[in-house]
Amino acid sequence: MFLFFQSKLQLVVGDVIKTDLPFFDVCVANVPYQISSPLVFKLLLHRPLFRCAVLMFQREFAQRLVAQPGDKLYCRLSINTQLLARVDHLMKVKSIIVNYVRRRRNPPITLSPNVSTNPPSGALMLVRLLKTHTHEGEKLLNNAF
């Protein structure tokens, strides 16, 4: 059975942020915290669009991705990601205890780009505008609404 899928699987070794991504349909990854945000935006701006990505992020990062307006964790990351894609939690994952130390497990999320071939009108400009605001700017924007 593996030999059948071997021709459909391409393993790319290297820094995913610096590497040009080939066409792909599905992406599955356990993502380190340091590259979580850059990877999400690299995937969302990748053309041609992929069908789905199943990604495991640190719990707090995953919560910010799916946060809704009014949530305490709603931020620029939430706005930009949800503007370009549908983001859903797949399941809750319980932490485990290994050698008497509690270890959190990363919850998987699905990331499915919006079906339109181009981002909504002005979406990339909004992404850049929100990126220019500092954390203090986000607080001011939140208080304005």
Q: Is this model's pTM higher than 0.75 or not? A: no
The answer to whether position 115 is within a domain reads yes
The answer to whether position 47 is within a domain reads yes
Q: Counting beta carbons within 10 angstroms of the beta carbon of residue 27, is it exposed (0 to 12), middle (13 to 18) or buried (19 or more)? A: middle
pLDDT of residue 92: 74
pLDDT of residue 134: 47
36-67 per-position pLDDT tens digit? 999 999 998 888 889 999 999 988 999 999 99
Least confident range of 6-20, 27-41, 73-87 = 6-20
The answer to whether position 10 is within a domain reads no
Beta bridge partners of 28: 54
What is the CATH number for 78?
3.40.50.150
The answer to whether position 57 is within a domain reads yes
The answer to whether position 7 is within a domain reads no
The answer to whether position 1 is within a domain reads no
The answer to whether position 9 is within a domain reads no
In whole angstroms, what is the distance from residue 14 CA to residue 10 CA?
13
